[in-house]
């Protein structure tokens, strides 16, 4: 057995394919090269959240679909968004100590690995939505069909069961349909369903679609509901947030940025859930200077105080590619007194 110095070495020792997913800001694939570059300190983590890399890994046997190794890891990052080596080395040590005997027998080792990570400072359990989406994406990556819940969920979204009959549609089925949104005629099925869905299944669908690079066909009905609720001062901000989140990874960047601009000038602009949605899901849109300044101004004037302002801004500054456009707006001479005051207090503190 070759020396195991990092997680990539550990995974490659199994001689099986593996796939790494980010589970922090959204559930999306990381290429093996991206992950290796991160581990070798050649690049910062691309999607940091709250100072950590939230990672899901699936390692599977090509000969036996029941042989899978699944890891959920929460790895600390330094102020530049790079891996803290001491934590990585400690994690590898713990894994080797616990599973040396099971490296050649992954089937027995699967539950042991998951239990050990759950009891370690580097393990975490994804919430229900994240777990369902991860499972759906892992199955698709391994070339396996969707779960047994897919057919029922698809029948529901096709309208066969009646849109009010959502109580028995599980999150796993919704995640499966969302992950396969571009298969067969699923795009047309979802586009027809979105305007008619009751609030609860609509929210559930949005939590899954936020992980997909959907096209205009789906973005349009989602943003139509977004704008409808945005015009209602009494609308539930969680529904507005859900609709925006669902488009956060969409290919239709311009449509989403226009929606964010309108939100930041609406009566709902100071709602904390919506401000968090923008920074947590639509962060790439803040690369646009005008939109970035508008967001910072709204956050500073929202009335949520310095602690919330500092937390959200610090989290954004971790993200590669976002530090420069944000710093440009921090130095913008045309910023309001409220924003200047918040920024001064923040940097004086640090």
Model confidence, pTM: 0.91
When pLDDT is cut at 50, 70 and 90, the band that residue 112 belongs to is: very low
End-to-end Cα spacing for the chain: 47
pLDDT in tens, 132-167: 999 999 999 999 999 999 999 999 999 999 999 999
Using the predicted structure, report yes or no on whether residue 111 has a pLDDT greater than 50.
Answer: no
In this structure, of 1-5, 71-75, 303-307, the range with the lowest mean pLDDT score is 1-5
Q: Nearest-CA neighbor of 56 among 130, 164, 146? A: 130
pLDDT on residue 119: 67
Using the predicted structure, report yes or no on whether residue 329 has a pLDDT greater than 60.
Answer: yes
Q: Nearest-CA neighbor of 276 among 316, 243, 305? A: 316
Using the predicted structure, report yes or no on whether residue 195 has a pLDDT greater than 90.
Answer: yes
pLDDT on residue 99: 62
The Cα–Cα gap between 172 and 156 comes to 13
Kindly state the average pLDDT of the residues 24-50.
Answer: 94
pLDDT on residue 36: 93
When pLDDT is cut at 50, 70 and 90, the band that residue 108 belongs to is: low
Highest mean pLDDT out of 57-66, 80-89, 136-145: 136-145
87/112: higher pLDDT: 87
pLDDT in tens, 264-274: 999 999 999 99
Looking at every residue in the chain, the average pLDDT score rounds to 91
150/63: higher pLDDT: 150
pLDDT on residue 116: 52
Q: Nearest-CA neighbor of 348 among 316, 310, 300, 302? A: 310
The Cα–Cα gap between 177 and 190 comes to 9
- The answer to whether the CB of 240 falls within 8 A of the CB of 268 is yes
pLDDT in tens, 207-264: 999 999 999 999 999 999 999 999 999 999 999 999 999 999 999 999 999 999 999 9
pLDDT in tens, 264-310: 999 999 999 999 999 999 999 999 999 999 999 999 999 999 999 99
When pLDDT is cut at 50, 70 and 90, the band that residue 45 belongs to is: very high
- The answer to whether the CB of 211 falls within 8 A of the CB of 56 is no
Phi-psi region of 50 (alpha: psi -120 to 50; beta: other; left: phi over 0): left
CA 133 remoteness from chain centre? 10
């Amino acid at each position: 057995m070759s020396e195991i110095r990092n997680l990539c070495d550990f995974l490659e020792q199994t001689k099986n394919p593996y796939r790494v997913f980010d589970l922090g800001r959204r559930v999306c694939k990381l290429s093996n090269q991206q992950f290796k570059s991160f581990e070798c300190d050649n690049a910062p983590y691309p999607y940091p959240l709250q100072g950590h890399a939230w990672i899901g890994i699936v390692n599977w046997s090509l000969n036996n679909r029941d042989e899978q190794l699944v890891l959920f890891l929460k790895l600390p990052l330094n102020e530049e968004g790079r891996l803290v080596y001491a934590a990585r080395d400690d994690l590898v040590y713990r894994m080797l100590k616990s599973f040396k005997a099971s490296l050649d027998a992954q089937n027995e080792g699967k539950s042991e690995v998951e239990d050990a990570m759950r009891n370690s400072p580097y393990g975490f359990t994804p919430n229900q939505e994240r777990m369902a989406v991860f499972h759906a994406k892992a199955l698709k990556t391994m070339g396996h069909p969707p779960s047994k819940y897919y057919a029922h969920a698809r029948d529901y979204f096709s309208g066969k069961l009646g849109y009010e009959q959502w109580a028995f549609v599980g999150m796993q089925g919704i995640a499966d349909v969302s992950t396969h949104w571009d298969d067969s005629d699923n795009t047309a099925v979802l586009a027809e369903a979105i305007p008619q869905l009751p609030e609860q299944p609509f929210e559930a669908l949005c939590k899954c679609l936020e992980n997909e690079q959907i096209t205009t066909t789906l973005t349009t009905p989602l943003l139509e509901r977004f704008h409808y609720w945005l015009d209602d001062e009494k609308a539930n901000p969680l529904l507005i947030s859900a609709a925006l989140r669902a488009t956060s990874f969409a290919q239709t960047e311009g449509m989403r940025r226009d929606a964010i601009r309108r939100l930041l000038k609406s009566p709902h602009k100071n709602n904390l859930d919506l401000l968090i949605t923008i920074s947590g899901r639509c962060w790439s849109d803040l690369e646009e200077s005008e939109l970035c300044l508008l967001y910072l101004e709204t956050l500073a004037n929202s009335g949520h105080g310095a602690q919330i302002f500092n937390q959200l801004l610090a989290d954004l500054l971790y993200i590669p590619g976002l530090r420069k456009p944000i710093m440009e707006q921090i130095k913008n001479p045309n910023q309001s007194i409220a924003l200047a005051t918040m920024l001064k207090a923040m940097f004086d503190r640090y």
